[in-house]
Structure 1
Amino acid sequence: MSSIIDMTRLSKSEETLGNGISDTRIKGYPKGYPELAAFMESDPGFGILRRFNHLHLRNLLYMQEELTSMDRRLYEIDASETDELNNMTRPGDENVDRKVLMTEIRVKLREYGTVLPR
């Protein structure tokens, strides 16, 4: 079975591919993805990859919903505290639910920030 690279070669005896790309830059790589990656690397025009923008946006929307839910839970915890001083997250905070939730929020915000387009 011929590979994608073999199909683009002018002939086995020729030393360059159609665009003058040296055949030696691709030789030596195993058939399949290694050879295809070498071929794609051989010319800037060959390195076309999908960005999966739709999936990235779906992921961001899902993460926003998770953060919105966490924000709502934090508000409910804060609203359940009648004393103003109890509504502050601080060392020694006695509300374990708030402390655990704030840690989860911190992790999720960090994750969200890394995937958010700049």
Structure 2
Amino acid sequence: MAGANIEMVTLPNQPRRRYLEGFPSFSHFIAGDRQEAIYRRFGSLSARNLLYQQSELHRLEHELEVYDAEDAQDLDDVAAQQRARQWESVATDDSDNARLRRELQLKIKSRVKEYRPDEALLLESRILALYPPSERVTGFFKSWFFWDSLPVLWGLDEHLFDKESDLVALSSDDTDRLNMLLLRYIGWLFKSKEDNNDRLRPQTYHVADHRIHRAGAVISVLLSVSLLIGGMVCLTLVANRSVGLRLGTIILFTVMFAGVVGLLTNARRAELFGSSAAYAAGT
């Protein structure tokens, strides 16, 4: 199509290259950041496919059970007894009953070998175990895809990522709440120095993960040390005061510590209880 955009990109230790806007630039964008490896899992289609497989195998199973029931009606049928006990009788018998059973067995063999519903279920369970991308990653992904209201892919693929509930990320975003706050309000401070805007749109920047995690770790250490030392100092100042004041001080700092751990980190409930109990015992 006329007027297609070309994005200038630079690869390490390689001369400058050109990528057409579309699948070439899109794949380069995804490959440049593992957190942007976002794809559709097509959950509805996978479920429909599994249901069709079940129904087809269920129908074949029913046909086989009908044949078995017919053979079991006449216990004096020698041919039926032989077919039930000896495969050669099924393979060499020229009767219509044997021929129909052979055809059914070939269908069952083909369908089970082709579909392998057990493997399909295991594959589906692995896909369901993948986590959806975070709002931050999804927002940046879609802002790149729909830059200036023009999708990078055309045709039906313009709506490829409309169903956000169907998106999965191959790499989990382990950013905690503190890092999310830093990204939201002062993310520009952690812009990657190695990013030459080769895979980004104008007026966008890429945040270096190691820098934001380092800043979050420093702030976490400062907060924990401040709360621990602050609690001990305050308890020292009120050591000669009433028991109620000392207990109130311990409760106040314990609540503050639990709030910091619970609101700014991804600590689980058991971890929150354990760290709060350890902090209260330490003060």
Secondary structure of 1:55's counterpart equals helix
The residue that corresponds to 2:81 in the other structure is 84
Pair 1:28 & 2:25 matched:
no
- Matches of 1:89 and 1:114 in 2, distance apart? 31
Q: Does 1:116 align with 2:121?
A: yes
Q: CA distance change for structure 1 residues 80 and 70 in 2, over 3 Å: closer, same or farther?
A: same
8 A Cα contact 1:60 1:115, kept in partner? yes
Structure 1: 5+ residue runs without aligned partners? Answer: 7-11, 13-22
Post-superposition Cα deviations, 1:75-105, rounded to whole Å, max 9, x if no partner, equal 1122222333323571341312112211211
**Aligned mates of 2:19, 2:86 — CA distance in 1:** 57
1:94-113 correspondence to structure 2 within 5 Å? 94=93, 95-110=98-113, 111=115, 112-113=117-118
In structure 1, distance between residues paired with 2:86 and 2:21: 58
Match of 2:229 in 1: none
Letter in 2 for 1:51: R
State yes or no: 1:38 paired with 2:28: yes
Percent sequence identity over matched residues?
26
Aligned residue number for residue 46 of structure 2 = 56
Equivalent-residue separation in structure 1 for 2:59 and 2:50 (angstroms): 14
Distance 1:88 1:98, change over 3 A: farther
- Structure 1 distance, partners of 2:81, 2:34, is 61
Whether the 8 Å contact between 1:70 and 1:105 is mirrored in structure 2 is yes
* Structure with greater proportional helix content: 2
The CA distance in 2 between the partners of 1:88 and 1:36, in whole Å, is 60
Q: TM-score, normalised by structure 2?
A: 0.32
RMSD: 2.6
Please say if residues 4 and 20 of structure 2, whose CA atoms lie closer than 8 Å, have aligned partners that are also in contact.
no
Aligned counterparts of 2:64 and 2:33: Cα–Cα separation in 1 = 52
Q: Could you say what secondary structure the match of 1:71 adopts? A: helix
Higher relative contact order (CA 8 A, sep 6+): 2
Q: CA deviation at 1:56?
A: 0.7
* Structure 1 residues 31 and 98: alpha-carbon distance in aligned structure 2, compared to 1, 3 A threshold: same
> 5+ unaligned residues in a row in structure 2: which ranges?
75-79, 124-283
Local SS of the residue matching 1:91? helix
Q: Which residue of 2 aligns with 1:19?
A: none
The CA deviation string for residues 47-100 of structure 1, in whole angstroms up to 9 with x for no partner, is 100111221111111110111100000111222223333235713413121122
For 1:2 and 1:115, the matched residues in 2 are separated by 40
Number of residue equivalences: 102
AA of the residue aligned to 1:87: A
Residues 34 and 48 of structure 1: is their aligned pair in 2 closer, same or farther, counting only changes over 3 Å? same
Q: Higher strand share goes to which structure?
A: 2
